[in-house]
Structure 1
Amino acid sequence: MGEFMLKQSVNKVWYGIFTSFAALGIRHGISTRLGGHSTAPFLSLNLGLHTGDDAEAVWNNRQLFCQAVGLPPDKVVTAEQIHGNVIGQVTMADAGRGAKHYHEAIKGTDALITNVPGLPLMLFFADCVPVLIVDPVAKAIGISHAGWKGTVGKIAQKTVLAMQQQFNTNPADCLVGIGPSIGPCCYEVDEAVLSKLRAEFPYWEQLVIPRKKRWQLNLWEANRRQLREIGIGDTNITVSSICTADNTPIFFSHRAESGHTGRIGAIISL
């Protein structure tokens, strides 16, 4: 099983990598909030254009992050992200969509897949779960935005199945990285969310800890279990186990910062 580790680039940007991906030469990274140009409350490496931050500062931050990871910022493909389970297949014709202007991002989409070398996929997060997927055999990648709605909608699982359909991916070959996001220590949900979990996951009781009339939800485990269901082995799944809400000096957290904060980015490219 791989590990998740933070590192600092020569341009002073801090970001995380999955060692299992790095061993394959897959360029990727999950940003922190450290090393950017934005001012409070987006301090400082905010990568989200839809947050109310200065657009030029965000573009400068995206360039810094891409430079740190070693990927071209002008080719990055992003999505609108609406907490759904639509998956977009990306080709070189999409290069640069949403990289600098939010209105150019792929509409109504929360996961991206491609088999095009050198085409970076990037999504944005502030507590929701980044799920990065590599198929080293069929040479394909995917990335999913899995908040509670996406997790219940099994977007991570569906992303792998879309790769199977489009690129002949065998799920058993895939490596998966589950990035920093809100952990079961901090993520309380109510009956409305719990009812959705009950409907979709027979093992829902293994995903929650009761707390009076609320429950602590483990999104990491929910995503890991749905990936196991389609044949991805435990040794191929790396969970960072870093809670964004519990580490706001390093990561943005929508819940811990009352909704007024920036976004980290997760990026991956063949």
Structure 2
Amino acid sequence: MYQLIRSKHGDKNSIQQRQAGELEYLVFPKLEETGAVKHLFTTRTGGVSSGIYATMNLSFSRGDDPLNVMENYRRIGEVLGTDPEHMVASRQTHTTNIHAVTEKDCGNGIGRASSYEDIDGLVTDVPGIALVTYYADCVPLYFVDPVHRAIGLAHSGWRGTVAGMAACMVLYMQEHFHSRPEELVTAIGPSICADCYEIGEDVAEQFRGHFPEKVLQKGKTPGKYQLDLWQANRSILLNAGVLPEHIAVTDVCTCHNPEYLFSHRASHGQRGNLAAFLMLKNNS
């Protein structure tokens, strides 16, 4: 199994490696402990794609052979106990738009063309449908309501973070599923860490004053800053009413592990996509 390089940021042991044959993936014990869901975050291992997409690329839009991508989905489906026909994909454009998934959405963006645009968050209370969102440095956000049996999955880069995507998801689940923030169990997934994420003054200004000071630190070069998206999203979740003991913050950075995880910054854009999967279990 690949030896992960773990960041000094995040929560130690918040995320663990699992293996199914050659396929390695990551899980949050905190989400598993709810007993309500199946979930994972993919790595680059165990797929059939090649070249810059090697091997577990889940993107149909970056130039990979679609047949290889579909086989990769099938292999992930085997781990989750489902298939691509029961998966629903986002259509990410760095918004805070959220879509409530039902049975009619099954296969959307995977087995068939997407029927919607500009969707960075997915929620559902339908068991057996796997929500899917995509990453190569941005932040995956997982939401599980084990009381009202509802789930959510969101993509949050710096634009989504500064716009409060995590809070938007909490509010949406409150309104649609009667979820209570203090009952939600959440996770902030593998993405770029503060040590690797250098930004300019234009981005820093949008965070300054709206987040705890530790989220933004002076950069390694003059006029630059290091942005901690993990702690920014944790702060948003806390302000939205999620309990601190119900938030798992990864310590796995995509940019620190480019042979194992796709990183846009580390690869200079020559890469495939990782994906987060989250599925509500059947009551039985």
Q: TM-score, normalised by structure 2?
A: 0.90
CA distance in 1, matches of 2:242, 2:90: 26
Q: Who is 1:98 aligned against?
A: 109
Structure 2 spans left out of the alignment, 5+ residues = 1-10
- Where does 1:107-146 land on structure 2 (aligned, <5 Å)? 107-146=117-156
Q: CA-to-partner distance for each residue in 1:138-197, whole Å, 9 max, x for gaps? A: 110000100111111111110111000000000100111111100001000001111211
Q: Who is 2:47 aligned against?
A: 36
CA distance in 2, matches of 1:202, 1:72: 40
Q: CA-to-partner distance for each residue in 1:117-158, whole Å, 9 max, x for gaps? A: 111100010000000100011110000100111111111110
Q: Who is 1:61 aligned against?
A: 72
CA contact (8 A) 2:91 2:119 kept: yes
Give 2:207's match in structure 1, choosing from 197, 220, 227.
197
CA distance in 2, matches of 1:66, 1:149: 30
CA contact (8 A) 1:75 1:99 kept: no
- Where does 1:142-221 land on structure 2 (aligned, <5 Å)? 142-198=152-208, 201-203=210-212, 205-211=213-219, 212-221=222-231
CA contact (8 A) 1:9 1:68 kept: yes
User: How far has the Cα of 1:202 moved from its partner?
Assistant: 4.5
The answer to whether residue 250 in structure 2 is matched with residue 240 in structure 1 is: yes
Q: Who is 1:9 aligned against?
A: 20
CA contact (8 A) 2:211 2:232 kept: no
Where does structure 1 differ by over 6 angstroms across 4 or more consecutive aligned residues?
none
CA distance in 2, matches of 1:51, 1:172: 39
CA distance in 2, matches of 1:185, 1:44: 27
CA distance in 2, matches of 1:15, 1:224: 23
User: How far has the Cα of 1:8 moved from its partner?
Assistant: 0.5
Please give the secondary structure, in 2, of the residue aligned with 1:14: strand
CA distance in 2, matches of 1:114, 1:38: 30
User: How far has the Cα of 1:65 moved from its partner?
Assistant: 1.3
CA distance in 1, matches of 2:163, 2:268: 25
User: How far has the Cα of 1:241 moved from its partner?
Assistant: 1.2
Which piece of structure 1 moves more, 186-195 or 64-73? 64-73
User: How far has the Cα of 1:74 moved from its partner?
Assistant: 1.1
The answer to whether residue 60 in structure 2 is matched with residue 52 in structure 1 is: no
CA contact (8 A) 1:112 1:142 kept: yes
Structure 1 spans left out of the alignment, 5+ residues = none
Which piece of structure 1 moves more, 91-100 or 169-178? 91-100
Q: Who is 1:89 aligned against?
A: 100
Give the aligned residue type for 2:41.
I
The answer to whether residue 265 in structure 2 is matched with residue 250 in structure 1 is: no
Q: Who is 2:89 aligned against?
A: 78
Q: Who is 2:4 aligned against?
A: none
User: How far has the Cα of 1:228 moved from its partner?
Assistant: 0.1
- Percent identity reads 36
Give the aligned residue type for 1:144.
A
Please give the secondary structure, in 1, of the residue aligned with 2:75: helix
Q: Who is 1:260 aligned against?
A: 270
User: How far has the Cα of 1:105 moved from its partner?
Assistant: 5.4
